[in-house]
Amino acid sequence: MLIGVPKEIKVREYRVGLVPANVHELVSHGHQVLVETGAGAGIGADDAQYQAAGATIVATAQEIFERAGLIVKIKEPQAVERRCLKPGQILFTYLHLAPDAEQTHDLIESGASCIAYETVSADNGRLPLLEPMSAVAGRLAIQAGAHFLEKTHGGSGILLGGVVGVEPAKVTVIGGGVVGMNAVDVALGMGASVTVLDRNVDTLHGLRKHFGTPLNTVYSTATTIAQHCMNADLVIGAVLVTGATAPRLITRDLVKRMKPGSVIVDVAIDQGGCCETSRPTTHDAPTFVLDGVIHYCVANMPGSVPRTSTYALNNVTLPYVLALADKGLSALREDKHLLDGLNIHLGKVTNQAVAAAHGLAYCDALTALGTA
């Protein structure tokens, strides 16, 4: 198969779909790989390294979209890229369609087969292609929160870990999954006073067992969320419902009652955000202030540490990329977990949560593939 890797064009997105080592693996399987010039610059991989791995360097993304049967990216295709997609192509990338009606309708119109990293599943309910970026985002969330708590960046002027004789910042983490666990890890390591809320008691038990008594674990309800957000200096929104729009757990009224100069880092913004006042921001303009509360809602947080993020993601995507390259869409029929990643195929929406989010007809993925 001819595989294409375009350069990412989202604002301040420096990651790349394939690293040179994974290009070499694909070439060793008899496939051809096209890489847009400069695609790997953000991770320190130049064109010569891709050529040494067996890739062909092309001058424009347009050539990749015209020729490639499988396109491997990182972020959702931007409008100009979506216009280049066509029937018969396979797109493998993060999509986050539930909060994005425009992208959803464009991908339906394209006729391409669109597979989302974030809905590929595993036997134990894990999301193996989302986890590495969730881990990165959770850790970055604390770094970003600590930065914007500084008075020079608009915050209340609190050092996250405090010092002897001065209490540390209070951090509230809503959601105890991969994002939440990594946020807790960094926040505790920096000396903050940390509380995590979740509706799964087993998750709370696991976090307490892992981190011990320094971590406060609280069952999540509207009342406890309100209590802990109002007391917090930093709130991390780490909520996920697979493929669906994130639930709005932090209300507009609650934001008004939070401390002036406190910070919300809404990691769930890729799926619409878990705070009613959140809206997507970029690395160029990462925050806005509403009711005295700083909102950090960057939709591609891991793009700021592209080397770490790209290699972590490539470690887990390679087997799936190889399967798609070797078998095409038959790989979906043979692997129910990869099949869960199929969100759109030949104009049909094959993910129930995405269909429900936009009021569109849902078609079972196997049924849709049967029409190919």
- Catalytic residue numbers? 96, 270
Strands (E), the chain: 2-5, 32-36, 56-58, 70-72, 90-93, 113-116, 170-174, 193-198, 215-219, 234-237, 263-266, 287-290, 293-296, 342-345, 348-349
Nearest to 17 by CA among 66, 48, 50, 60: 50
CA angle 51, 57, 63 (to 5 degrees): 155
| CA–CA dist 264, 171 (Å, integer) | 10
What span, in angstroms and rounded, lies between the C-alpha atoms of 217 and 8?
39
Q: What are phi and psi of 197, to 5 degrees?
A: -115, 140
Total Cβ atoms within 10 A of residue 311:
15
Q: Which amino acid is at 44?
A: G
Cα(65)–Cα(31) distance, rounded to whole angstroms? 17
Cα distances (angstroms) measured from residue 194 to each of 54, 167, 184, 231, 357? 48, 12, 7, 11, 33
Closest CA to 235 of 200, 205, 253, 261: 261
Residues sharing a CB contact under 8 Å with residue 360, sequence separation 6 or more, in sequence order = 104, 108, 349, 354
Cβ(179)–Cβ(141) under 8 Å? Answer: yes
d(CA 90, CA 113): 5
CA 11 – CA 282 distance, rounded (Å): 7
Task: Say how far apart CA 133 and CA 174 lie, in whole Å.
Answer: 18
